Amino acid sequence: MDFFMLIAQLSDTHIKPQGKLAYKRVDTSLMLGVAIDHLRQLPQTPDLIVITGDLVDEGSIEEYGILRRFLTNLPAPYLLIPGNHDDRNNMRAVFTDHPWISETGFWQYSASSPNWPLRIIGLDTVNQGHSSGLLCQTRLDWFEDALTQEPNTPTLVMLHHPPFKTGIGHMDDIGLEGQEELAKILSLHPQIQLVICGHLHRNIRATVGGRAVMTSPSTAHTVQLDIAENAAAMYRMEPPGYLLHWWSGVGLVTHHVSAVSSSGPFPFFDDSGKLLL
């Protein structure tokens, strides 16, 4: 088993049907292509790529087909979980050979490999027909059983809806039902190194049940940061990005990466080789 592991987390790719823009403004396919190009140029190739929901915008077969073609350009295997914009049945219809498709009604699974020091658990928070998320008792019970079976394996958990109040009111209004029950389970399983989420389209960090929880930026648009009460539901175009989770052997370290064209690297030393740090 390798000692180190590098996991790239993309989120909220919101792929639209051919020729359509999200909110008539955002070319999500173009932006995913840029993010994947960026990922491919990293100095280290990730061992695994996870995409934490809202994979497409309307849940259609056409969109999943477009997404799948993009994902063939990823430099590593990938894992998917659905978000509130996704349709489980259409996801299954297109990703038929996804090795981690659940036989149950939910897109929940435990993924592991002899080459991975981490176990990955995906949870399905989709409450079909609603923008808010739900972890019902069936899904919570499955999660608790999965954790109980491997109490000593370092574990990364992923779900689309974050299990905490972010302060961005219109997003908290479509937040996760079952937060308290999930927090209790998290508190009982210290092998959980990190819980990663999407939905907010921004990088936010919190602690739930004593475990670190983090949301990822989107590869496309960003939810406007406004924690005023009754703030309007707005989005904005900030630099898109993704997260890199590095298992160092003793813990997980997360790096935020801006998926935009940039210049460099430039040396921190002068012409004589003297370090200027």
* Residue closer to Fe ion (CB basis): 201 or 245: 201
Query: C-alpha dihedral over 207, 116, 5, 155, to 10 degrees?
Result: 10
Taking CB under 5 A as the rule, does residue 82 contact Fe ion? Answer: no
- State the DSSP H helix or E strand holding residue 208, giving kind and residue range, or none if neither: strand 204-208
* Residue closer to Fe ion (CB basis): 154 or 198: 198
Taking CB under 5 A as the rule, does residue 54 contact Fe ion? Answer: yes
**Which range, of 15-23, 50-58, 122-130, 250-258, touches Fe ion by CB under 5 A?**
50-58
Site for Fe ion in 198-237 (CB under 5 A): 199
**Which range, of 49-57, 63-71, 204-212, 267-275, touches Fe ion by CB under 5 A?**
49-57
Provide, rounded to whole angstroms, the least separation between the CB of residue 133 and Fe ion: 8
β-pair type (133-134, 109-111): unpaired
Taking CB under 5 A as the rule, does residue 83 contact Fe ion? Answer: yes
SS3 state of residue 267: coil
Taking CB under 5 A as the rule, does residue 84 contact Fe ion? Answer: yes
CB 254 within 8 A of CB 244: yes
**Which range, of 6-14, 134-142, 143-151, 248-256, touches Fe ion by CB under 5 A?**
6-14
* Residue closer to Fe ion (CB basis): 6 or 79: 79
Residue corresponding to tokens 């080459």: 115
Which class for 134: exposed (0-12), middle (13-18), buried (19 or more C-beta within 10 A)?
middle
Sketch the per residue contact string, 12 through 41, with Fe ion: x for CB under 5 A, - otherwise: x-----------------------------
Taking CB under 5 A as the rule, does residue 63 contact Fe ion? Answer: no
**Which range, of 36-44, 116-124, 194-202, 246-254, touches Fe ion by CB under 5 A?**
194-202
CB 270 within 8 A of CB 276: yes
Give the Cβ contact number of residue 202 at 10 Å: 19
* Residue closer to Fe ion (CB basis): 112 or 224: 224
Provide, rounded to whole angstroms, the least separation between the CB of residue 273 and Fe ion: 47
CA angle 48, 251, 47 (to 5 degrees): 15
Site for Fe ion in 133-162 (CB under 5 A): none
* Residue closer to Fe ion (CB basis): 154 or 163: 163
Which class for 162: exposed (0-12), middle (13-18), buried (19 or more C-beta within 10 A)?
buried
* Residue closer to Fe ion (CB basis): 82 or 154: 82
Judged by phi (left if over 0) then psi (alpha if -120 to 50, else beta), residue 151 lies in: alpha
Provide, rounded to whole angstroms, the least separation between the CB of residue 265 and Fe ion: 32
Structure tokens of 259? 């998926």
Binding site for Fe ion (CB under 5 A): 12, 54, 83-84, 199
